[in-house]
Structure 1
Amino acid sequence: MSYKNFPMVSKVVFGRGSFNQLSEILAPKRLSMNAPFIYLIDDVFKNNIWITSRIQLSYDDKIIFISTKEEPKTSQVDALVEDIILMTKALPSGIIGIGGGSILDLAKAVSIMLTNEGEAKDYQGWDLVKNAAIYHVGIPTISGTGAEVSRTTVLTGPEKKLGINSDFTPFDQVILDSELTKDVPKNQWFYTGMDCYIHCIESLSGTYLNTFSQTYGDISLQLCKELFLDDTLSEEESQEKLMMASWHGGMSIAYSQVGVAHAMSYGLAYLLGVKHGIGNCIVFDHLEEFYPEGVKLFKEMKRIHKVELPQGICANLSDEEFDIMINIALNLVPLWENAIGKNWRNTITSKKLKELYQKM
C-alpha cells in the first residue's frame, strides 16, 4: 500500500507579539536588491498603523491592499500575478499574506502562479501544479479556517469553486500571533470559529479517518468546545485557543477530508457569493441527518453566543440556479466519499441536495 507523503509548514513562530520578528525572519530569504517582498494585506488594515507601521519595507518591497468583500477568484489571482510581474524587475523574494482565510489563500495561489504557466483555473483540482511556488509566508489575523496550515487554496473559478490542492501550496513560514486577532467582529469570530468546528466534525466522522487525522481533530474539537461552550475565558486565552484550534483543525483534514457542509457551501459561494464561514454555518444548521451530535452542539453554541443565521437565502432561486449549486457540490467527489463512503451516489442525488438547499 502506498501512503500519501504530505508536506507540512516547514517553519512556524507562535506567541503574542511574534509579528515583530517578521523582518528578522525575512532578511535571510531576500534573493537580491531587485527581488522585492510583496505583502498582500486585507484592506481592513489600510489605516491600521498598529499593523502597517511594524512592516519594514526595503528596496522595492510593495504592499498591496486587497478587499475581501468577495471570496477569492481565479481571475483575481491572475490579475495580481500580472501586476506583480509588471511592477518587479525580477521574481519576488517572497509573498507575505496578512489577513484571514481569503488573503492566505490568495497568497498561496499567487506564489504558485508566479512559477507556473497558464491561468489559476487550470490548477483547480488535485496535484496539478508542476513547479515549486516561490517562498511564501502566512500571517493569520483571524482564526478558524485552517488556511494557514492546509495544502489547498480555495478559489472560485469561471466553472467551479475548487482549491489548488498540491504539495507546493503550504506556506514555508507561518507566524501565529494571537494578538493580531483582537479586533475581529463578534459574528465573524463565530463564523470562522465554526468553520474550524465543522472541519473537526466532518473529519472525525468521515470514512477517511485515521489516527493521524483523529489526533489533531480531537485536540481541535476539545479546544472548540472550551471556547464556544464556555464564556468565562479571558480574551487572551480565547484568542490563543482558537488560533491553535484552527491549526489543529487544518491539520486534521490534511490526511483526511471535509464533508457535506463544505461540499454544499461551495455551491452557495459559487452562485450567491456567500462567504465560506457563514456558508458552512447556514448549511450545517440543516445537517442533523448526517451529523446529529455535531449539529445539536452547534445549535447550542449559536444560542450561547446569540448568533442569528440568515434565513431563506435560496427561497427565490430558479431550477437552473439550484442545478448550478448542485453540480458544484456533486463534483467534490473526495468530500462525499469521506462523508458517506464509496457508494455515496446511491444516497446523494440531485433531488436530495435540492431539498436540503430549499431549507436554507
Structure 2
Amino acid sequence: MVPKVVFGEGCFDQLTSILSSHKKEKAPFIFLVDDVFEKNTEFLDRINLRFNDKLIFISAEEEPKTSQVDDLVKDIKAEFTYAPSGIIGIGGGTVMDLAKAVSIMLINKGSAADYQGWDLVKQKAVYHVGIPTISGTGAEVSRTTVLTGPVRKLGINSDFTPFDQVILDPDLTIGVPKNQWFYTGMDCFIHCVESLNGTFLNAFSQSYGEKAYDLCLEIFLGDSLSEEESRAKLMMASWHGGMSIAYSQVGVAHAMSYGLGYVLGTKHGVGNCIVFQHLEEFYPKDVALFKKMVEKHNIEIPQGICKNLSREQMETMITVALGMVPLWENALGSNWEAIITPEKLKELYLRM
C-alpha cells in the first residue's frame, strides 16, 4: 500500500514541504511531467524546482514502453553522478507508470523488460511520488507499472512498485478533455466490475470495489453533483478502484485491451471501452450500464478497429491476451482455457 497520501483542493502546493525531508545533498529530484503542461508557466512555477532539480516533459500520446524507461534511466545516470533524491510523476497513468518504472530501474540492473511479470524486482526503488492530473487509471495506488516491451505488454508487478507518497489534488484535473475524462473514468468502472465479479474477490477488495463502483454510478449516471464534487469523487473512485484490484485482479476487458495496446497502440482507457461494449456474455448488467453512460455523455467509442488486421497481427493480439493468465483465472476460474480459446478471442476481436 502507498504509505503516505494527502488529499484536497490545492494540496499540490504542499509538494515542496513534502519533498524537503527527502532531499539528499547534491542529489536532484527528477520531475516527469505530462507535456500538456509544457507551456503552463503558472503551473510549472508551483513545482518550485531547486538547486539541480530536473524537469522532463513526457508525451502521453503513446503507451509507456520498456525502451522509454531504459532511455530515461540512461540519460539520468549520464547527467548526474549521484542517484536522484526522488522521482516525481505528474500526469496521467502513462506518466505515473513511467515514474514508478524509472524509480525501480535506477536501482535494479538490466532492462525494464527483464522485470515484466510478478515479483521479479529485488531491490527497493528510489523514493517516488505520484501526482495524478486525471482520474480513473488507479496508477497512483497500484503495485504495477504497465509497459509495452519487445515481446509483450505487461506490468512490473512488485511490492517495490507503489509510490512512497501520493498527492491527490482534484483541482489538477480541471480542463481534462471530455473524451479522456470518460475513457479513464470507465477504466475505473471496469476495474470495479472485473474485481467484484472475479474469483479472486475477498472482503478487502470487495469493500474498496463496491465503494468505487457506487461512486462511478453517481458520477456518470447521476445529475446532482457539481463539477467540483464530481472531480473529487472521481479521484476517490480511482483510488478505491485501484485498491480493489491490488488485492484481487482485473479480468476479460483488461486482458483483451492489452492485446489491442500491443498490436495497435490503442490507449488503455479507450481500449477497455472498445472491448467492454462487446462483453455482455461475461458482464451483462454492467455492460448495459456502460452503454447508458456512453449515451448519456454522448461519447463515440471507436468501431471496426480490428477489421483490417493481418493474420500475423491477429495471432499476436491473441497471444498477448492469452498471456495474461492471472486475469483470466480471476475472470473465469482455473478452467478458463476451456472457455477462452484462440478461436473465441478471434471472434471477439473481430466484433471490434
User: In which range does the TM-score fall when normalised by the shorter chain?
Assistant: over 0.9
Question: Is 1:328 matched with 2:320?
Answer: yes
Corresponding residue number in structure 2 for 1:74 = 66
Counterpart check, 1:86 vs 2:78? yes
Cα deviation, residue 230, structure 1: 1.5
1-structure distance, mates of 2:223, 2:336: 39
Counterpart for residue 164 of structure 1? 156
* 2:129 partner SS: strand
Q: TM-score, normalised by structure 2?
A: 0.99
What does residue range 219-258 of structure 1 map to in structure 2 within 5 Å? Answer: 219-258=211-250
2:6 to 5, 13, 17: 13
| Alignment correspondent of 2:144 | 152
Q: Could you tell me which of 246, 253, 258 is aligned with 1:261?
A: 253
Matched residue, 1:199 = 191
Deviation at 1:231, TM superposition (A): 3.4
Which residue of the partner structure matches residue 306 of structure 1? 298
Aligned partner letter, 1:235:
E
> Secondary structure of the residue that 1:54 maps to in structure 2?
helix
Match of residue 20, structure 2, among 20, 27, 38: 27
Work out whether 1:173 is the aligned partner of 2:176. Answer: no
> For residues 139-171 of structure 1, what are the alpha-carbon distances to aligned partners after superposition, in whole Å with 9 as ceiling and x for unaligned?
000000000000000000000000000000000
| SS across alignment from 1:175 | strand
Q: Which residue among 80, 86, 90 is the counterpart of 1:98?
A: 90
Instruction: Report how far residue 318 of structure 1 moved.
Output: 1.4
Give the whole-Å Cα distance in 2 for the aligned partners of 1:131 and 1:106.
Answer: 17
Supply the distance in 2 between the matched residues of 1:185 and 1:50 (Cα, whole angstroms).
20
Give the equivalent residue in structure 2 for 1:121.
113
Instruction: Give the letter for the 2:256 counterpart.
Output: M
Q: Are 2:28 and 1:36 equivalent residues in the alignment? A: yes
Q: Which residue of 2 aligns with 1:48?
A: 40
Among all aligned residue pairs of Structure 1 and Structure 2, give the percentage whose two residues are the same amino acid.
70
Cα deviation, 1:314-354, whole Å, max 9, x if unaligned, reads 01011211110000000000000000000000010000000
* CA distance in structure 2 between the aligned counterparts of 1:50 and 1:262, rounded to whole angstroms: 37
CA-CA distance at 1:121 after TM superposition:
0.1
Matched with 1:339 is: 331
1:97-119 deviation per Cα after TM superposition (whole angstroms, max 9, x unaligned)? 00000000000000000000000
Instruction: Give the partner amino acid of 1:305.
Output: H
Superposed displacement of residue 89, structure 1? 2.0
Aligned mates of 1:174, 1:15 — CA distance in 2: 12
Residue 208 of structure 2 aligns with an amino acid whose one-letter code is: Y
**Which residue is 1:131 aligned to?**
123
**CA distance in structure 2 between the aligned counterparts of 1:310 and 1:167, rounded to whole angstroms:** 36
Distance in 1 between the 2:55 and 2:313 partners?
38
- Aligned counterparts of 1:37 and 1:168: Cα–Cα separation in 2: 19
Give the whole-Å Cα distance in 2 for the aligned partners of 1:56 and 1:320. 49
Runs of 4+ in 1 over 6 A off after TM superposition: none
Cα distance, 1:50 vs structure 2: 2.9
Secondary structure in structure 2 of the residue aligned to 1:312: coil
Q: Which consecutive unaligned segments of at least 5 residues does structure 1 have?
A: 1-7
Aligned to 1:61: 53
Which residue type is aligned with residue 312 of structure 2? E
Cα RMSD (Å)? 0.5
1:67 shift after superposition: 0.7
Give the AA of the match of 1:64: I
CA offsets per residue over residues 28-76 of structure 1, 9 Å max, x none? 10011x1000000000100112320101111110000011110000000
Letter in 2 for 1:60: N
Cα distance in structure 2, aligned partners of 1:40 and 1:328: 29
**What TM-score do the two structures reach when normalised by structure 1?**
0.97
C-alpha offsets along residues 223-278 of structure 1, whole Å, 9 cap, x if unaligned?
A: 00000001341110000000000000000001100000000000000000000000
Q: 1:307: Cα distance to partner?
A: 0.5
CA distance in 1 between partners of 2:41 and 2:260 (Å): 35
Aligned residue in 1 for 2:267: 275
* Paired residue secondary structure (2:141): coil
Q: Distance in 2 between matches of 1:152 and 1:231?
A: 34
Q: How far apart in 2 are the matches of 1:50 and 1:106? A: 24
